[in-house]
Amino acid sequence: MKTLLYTSIAATALSAGGALADGKVTVITSFPDSMTGPIEAAFEAAHPEYDLEVLNKKTSAGVKYIQEIAGDNTADIFWASAPDAFEVLKSDGLLADVTIKSEGIPERIGAYPLNDPDGKYYGFAGAGYGIMWNERYLKANGLEPATEWDDLAKAEYHGHVGMSAPSRSGTTHLTVETLLQGEGWDEGWAKWKRIAGNFSTVTERSFGVPDGVNTGNFGLGIVIDFFGFSSKASGFPVDFAYPTVTALVPANVAVVNNTPNEAGAVAFIEYLLTPEGQTVLLDPAIMRLPINPATYANAPEGFPNPFEDSTIGATVEFDVAKSGARYNLVNSMFDVMITYRLDDLRAAVGAIQAAEAAHADSGNEEAKALIAEAWALIDANPIDEAKSLDPEFAGIFTKKRKKATDEVGARQAEVEQEWDAMVVANYAKAKELADKAAGM
Amino acid sequence: MSQNTSPPAATRAGLADRLPRWLVPNLTGVHLVAVFIALLLIGLLLVPVAQVMIVAFQDPATGAATLQNFVDFFRTSLFRESFWNSFYVSAMSVVVATVIALPLAYITTRFHFSGSILIQSLGFIPLIMPPFVGAVAMQLIFGRNGTVNLLLRDWFGFDIPFMEGLNGVILVQSIHYFPFILINLSASLRNIDRSMEEAAQNLGSHGLRLFRRIVFPLAMPGYIAGAALVFIKVFDDLGTPLLLNVNNMLAPQAFLRISSIGISDPMGYVISVILVVFSVLSLWASFLFMRGKDYATVQKGGGGMAKRTLKPAEKALAYATVIFILLLVLSPHIGLLLLSFGTIWSFAPLPDGYTFQNYVTMWEGSKTFIMNTVLYAGIAATLDVIIGTAIAYIVLRTQIFGRKGLDYLATAALAVPGVVLGIGYLRTFHAIDVPFTDKPMASWWVIIALALMIRRLPYALRACTAALQQVSHALEEAAESLGATKRRSIQKIVIPLMTGGILAGFVTSFATAAVELSATIMLVSSNNDAPLAYGIYLFMQTPSGRGAGAALGIVAVIVVAIGTIASQIIIERDKKLKSSGDAH
């Protein structure tokens, strides 16, 4: 015990000593060890004068951590997928202004601008959202892989689909928002609720989805591409496809305000954007889309290249401002309508699917009308798009009081209770109608 | 303990002589210890938690003080439903955990049963797995497409929804937390005075009636201590429902709302307050239940109840019961072991192939995690039993003003979600620098050990309290009337008699601190300072790292199991030493 204590004290002293030297660059990241490891090794080989200290936190915990330590900042870099997390930090004034030199990096990936227009954060890799499936699971259940969002809403996938909640995972939020922007507010939500009616589960972490598909806990998952690629590369019997409506978005990196080691932080970001740094992204355990088009020359066979294959991520012109304006509101709506009421929603959608199957060829118009009415109840939205973009209403969900005298109107709990009451009643009524139709 | 009391006592003697009398109003060493502990708890628990919880009492729009948020809570049907779900799951978990723990405790303490030590140790092992790892393994075995259900479907064409919704939470929680009941109940059963049982037998009682009327009531302090812990722990537990993706319970609701990116909804904090209040109420209820009953037995030693040899048929039944229960409670470990040696395990009853590669991968990057864990959990558990014994003594044996408050305060730590404590520590200690360095205290590794100490203090405290409750006051009075000082009677009489309970408390605190994640994940500021659970978490975040994470989990189980078995051996030897003086 004592020896251990001494060893640990020695280790602490050493790391404290390291902090005083110029070399240490502290990185807060949501990326897994399997991704940061190879990049860290490559960076330290190229820049032996720096020592990268990687701290892994979930995106939301990372944002909280940086907010909490802002008074006496010890972090140099924030490194994560979701642009929204960077937007949150940026709006809190926690990201530094730095100049990054790079060559051969385009302005956009897909339809998405690579870098923050204010120069607070930089894209270093691309990622798109799609559908991942377990081949053994599908075979055992006699299913074909779904490749479009519409497929996932089909009755045969009932109870076989998994997804993470957008409030838990920044990348999932992007998937939700992409469909809302690609299909329109009402159609987008209707589609989400019909897909969610087929959910087996809503996972707490974004990694819970590939994990569930890998183990065969559920058959299909809505995931970010590299989870699909790296699971496949690890040997799991899984595969991945991009649907037509998807957005390619950059994974980002930024320097934290009041960084203890600005030179080191800048050196790290610049290294990520060099051809060598970009090539590390093709490591089988990482599998992110490089943003330097030249790097694709080294890519393995069949690896998607968004700079040549224009169908990937081209359909949706992702509007960052719109997404940011209603960020928390969309998360809250998803949780109220889907995450917390999944059992009710699943039961209602299941009942409607059963009624539809019973009346597929019956020609019973009355039953068809009931089914349509039931779908309309599922699809109904508590608020319209204009309201979602009303800054005063969306403000209820952020509660950022600039001054002590600011008033924010209604409370989030009130609004959520109102929505909850509406969806619970709608789902119950929809199930009742569907059961009635099925009995005809 | 004695080392802890002596310096303040000595200072007092010197100071009190020189100061005017009214300044030192009859303070004893015990008083000073009480004040010191109170300050410690206030600084390390109350202040950090208050920093976070104050949000619950603020109007989100204006920042003014308000109770409106609590009104909102009770008006929201989702929260009411979550509250009932949490209550239901906790109560059911106590029932299922009792069903698991009672036979194990009874068979191993009541009969001559080979392998009792092994069972007591194996029965303890479920506690020492991080909940998220346990849930991963349980999904693989009992999940919708886990081993059991795939086989059932192949052979019989049906499956059992073990892990669906609240069922899954109850199953995982009962298996995870039943050792609390087992360990406390066994300790109580061992401490029962044999003469009580013999008296009942002389009066003609035997069998179940003897158990129901004499043995179980006498073991009540241990059982209630264990059951209250299980109830509160399940009520507050976050990891298990989250990993099973059950959101409609209180703790997950609090966590989801506090940790969502950018959301500053006060509801999460309101739920935290409600969790704390409800837990304190349940503890208070368990105290009420125990009040006015004297469970102390004068005679100690003789190894507790008379043990009897089983008839062959009974023996077979006892073995079958024990083996079935052990298989059930060790299923997460069996799953984890398979996973750690497996290559790919996907939609199949067993992994596709077996390999040592996971252990190689794990060993390359995990040595620091293991060393850190032993260090942090060791510091935390040592401090826990010292403080736990002191509080138990102050509460049960002194009349110090506010002593119950000390107990409640220490126990309230149970009710503080780890993430709340983590954020609270960041807020409180970030502005304070570690002496002689310019590093903030919040990123100093000692803070992690202190957070673990606070989080696990209630376990040690309950075990120490139960142990002390069974030491009759008459023994101390006897010592004192023979001229021993208070300090000497504590040192020579009370503490030795409590050894079993104290050791049980140490093991519980150590083992559970070793796998704690929710508070540490907020506080780890460098991978060199990270404990084991954090390492497993890192591995488990990648498709290729699952096997290596499982391997590290197995290492955690082995490290803690060695500690547990060692302490069991010490307890047994201790018992033999005592009983050797007993003529029979």
Q: Which of A92, A231, A236, A283 to mutate to test the interface with B (most CBs of B within 10 A)?
A: A236
Query: Could you check whether A2-126+248-298 and A128-247+320-438 share the same CATH topology?
Result: yes
- HEC secondary structure over B60-105: CCCCCECCHHHHHHHHCHHHHHHHHHHHHHHHHHHHHHHHHHHHHH
Would an 8 Å CB–CB cutoff place B524 in contact with chain A?
Answer: yes
Contact check, Cβ <8 Å, B541/A208: no
Distance between CA atoms of residues B540 and A319, nearest Å:
34
What are the phi and psi torsion angles at B471 (to 5°)? -95, 120
Band of pLDDT at residue A344, cut at 50, 70 and 90: very high
Residue A79's DSSP bridge partners are A29, A253
Q: DSSP of B278-289, one letter per residue?
A: HHHHHHHHHHHH
Distance between CA atoms of residues A301 and A293, nearest Å:
16
Displacement of CA B22 from its chain's centroid (Å): 42
Distance between CA atoms of residues B68 and B83, nearest Å:
18
Which helix (H) or strand (E) element contains residue A226? helix A225-233
Degrees (nearest 5) of the Cα angle B256, B261, B267? 45
What's the first-to-final CA gap in chain B, in angstroms?
34
DSSP structure class, residue A148: S
Give me A270's structure tokens. Answer: 């610049």
How far is the CA of B160 from the CAs of B131, B150, B156, B176, in angstroms? Answer: 22, 10, 11, 20
Contact check, Cβ <8 Å, A140/B347: yes
Contact check, Cβ <8 Å, A211/B546: yes
Report which of residues A2 and B539 the model is more confident about.
B539
Give me B290's structure tokens. Answer: 């125990």
Nearest to A416 by CA among A345, A329, A344: A329
- HEC secondary structure over A333-361: HHHHHHHCCHHHHHHHHHHHHHHHHHCCC
Residue A149 in contact with residue A168, Cβ under 8 Å? no
pLDDT at B502 over 90: no
> Domains plus CATH for chain B?
1-6+28-58+358-579 (1.10.3720.10), 91-245+304-351 (1.10.3720.10)
Which chain A residue has its CA at the smallest distance from B79's CA?
A: A417
Q: What is the pLDDT of residues B144-155, one digit of tens each?
A: 888 889 999 888
Q: What is the pLDDT of residues B102-143, one digit of tens each?
A: 888 888 887 877 777 777 767 777 877 776 677 788 888 888
How many CB atoms within 10 Å of residue B159? 15
pLDDT at B584 over 50: no
What's the first-to-final CA gap in chain A, in angstroms?
75
**In angstroms, what separates the C-alpha of A417 from chain B's closest C-alpha?**
5
Q: Name residue, tokens 């909490």.
A: A68
CATH superfamily of A128-247+320-438: Periplasmic binding protein-like II (3.40.190.10)
Distance between CA atoms of residues B253 and A167, nearest Å:
12
A17, with CB counted inside 10 A (0-12, 13-18, 19+), is exposed
Rounded mean pLDDT, B454-468? 87
pLDDT at A329 over 50: yes
Nearest to A66 by CA among A17, A26, A114: A26
Pairing relationship of beta strands A77-80 and A289-290 according to DSSP bridges: unpaired
CA dihedral B110, B111, B115, B117 (to 10 degrees): 20
Q: What is the pLDDT of residues B168-207, one digit of tens each?
A: 899 988 988 898 898 888 878 877 777 777 788 888 877 7
Nearest to A31 by CA among A280, A248, A301: A280
Which helix (H) or strand (E) element contains residue B268? helix B267-290
Distance between CA atoms of residues A15 and A21, nearest Å:
10
Residue A152 in contact with residue A220, Cβ under 8 Å? yes
Q: Which of A65, A330, A403 to mutate to test the interface with B (most CBs of B within 10 A)?
A: A65
Residue A26's DSSP bridge partners are A53
SS3 B40: helix
Which chain A residue has its CA at the smallest distance from B539's CA?
A: A33
- Cβ-defined contacts of B19-25 (< 8 Å, 24+): none
Q: Which of B81, B338, B346, B448 to mutate to test the interface with A (most CBs of A within 10 A)?
A: B346
Residue A306 in contact with residue A289, Cβ under 8 Å? yes
Q: What is the pLDDT of residues A43-79, one digit of tens each?
A: 999 999 999 988 888 777 788 888 888 888 889 999 9
A225, with CB counted inside 10 A (0-12, 13-18, 19+), is buried
Which helix (H) or strand (E) element contains residue A403? none
What are the phi and psi torsion angles at A329 (to 5°)? -65, -45
Would an 8 Å CB–CB cutoff place B238 in contact with chain A?
Answer: no
The pLDDT value given to residue B291: 66
The pLDDT value given to residue B295: 60
Rounded mean pLDDT, B62-80? 83
Q: What is the pLDDT of residues B278-332, one digit of tens each?
A: 877 887 787 777 765 556 655 554 455 567 777 888 888 888 888 888 888 888 8
Distance between CA atoms of residues B432 and B521, nearest Å:
20
Contact check, Cβ <8 Å, A412/B139: no
Which chain A residue has its CA at the smallest distance from B137's CA?
A: A215
The pLDDT value given to residue A3: 45
Band of pLDDT at residue A349, cut at 50, 70 and 90: very high
How many CB atoms within 10 Å of residue B203? 9
Chains A & B: contacts with CB separation below 8 Å: 232
Q: What is the pLDDT of residues A184-235, one digit of tens each?
A: 899 999 999 999 999 998 987 788 899 999 999 899 999 988 888 888 888 8
Q: Where are the domains of chain A?
A: 2-126+248-298, 128-247+320-438
Band of pLDDT at residue A404, cut at 50, 70 and 90: very low
- HEC secondary structure over B327-361: HHHCHHHHHHHHHHHECCCCCCCCCCCECCHHHHH
Would an 8 Å CB–CB cutoff place B248 in contact with chain A?
Answer: yes
pLDDT at A403 over 90: no
Would an 8 Å CB–CB cutoff place A169 in contact with chain B?
Answer: no
Contact check, Cβ <8 Å, A61/B374: no
Q: What is the pLDDT of residues A122-177, one digit of tens each?
A: 999 988 888 999 999 999 999 999 988 889 999 999 999 999 988 877 778 888 98
Give me B34's structure tokens. Answer: 């009480």
Distance between CA atoms of residues A100 and A421, nearest Å:
50
Nearest to B229 by CA among B414, B453, B407, B84: B414
**In angstroms, what separates the C-alpha of B77 from chain A's closest C-alpha?**
7
Q: What is the pLDDT of residues B230-289, one digit of tens each?
A: 888 888 777 778 778 888 888 888 777 776 655 566 787 888 788 878 877 887 787 777
DSSP structure class, residue B130: -
**Which of the four CATH numbers 2.30.30.30, 3.40.190.10, 3.30.470.10, 3.40.50.300 does domain A2-126+248-298 have?**
3.40.190.10
Rounded mean pLDDT, B463-472? 83
Would an 8 Å CB–CB cutoff place B336 in contact with chain A?
Answer: no
DSSP structure class, residue B111: B
Q: Which of A1, A28, A34, A57 to mutate to test the interface with B (most CBs of B within 10 A)?
A: A34
pLDDT at B373 over 70: yes
Nearest to A180 by CA among A88, A225, A245: A245
Q: How many CA atoms lie within 13 A of B287 on its CB side?
A: 15
Distance between CA atoms of residues B257 and B270, nearest Å:
10
Contact check, Cβ <8 Å, A8/B372: yes
Decide: pTM greater than 0.90: no
Displacement of CA A176 from its chain's centroid (Å): 8
Distance between CA atoms of residues B506 and A69, nearest Å:
33
Contact check, Cβ <8 Å, B545/A33: yes
With contacts defined as CB-CB under 8 Å, which chain A residues touch B522? 61, 64-65
SS3 A127: strand
What are the phi and psi torsion angles at B403 (to 5°)? -65, -35
CA dihedral B429, B435, B438, B441 (to 10 degrees): -20
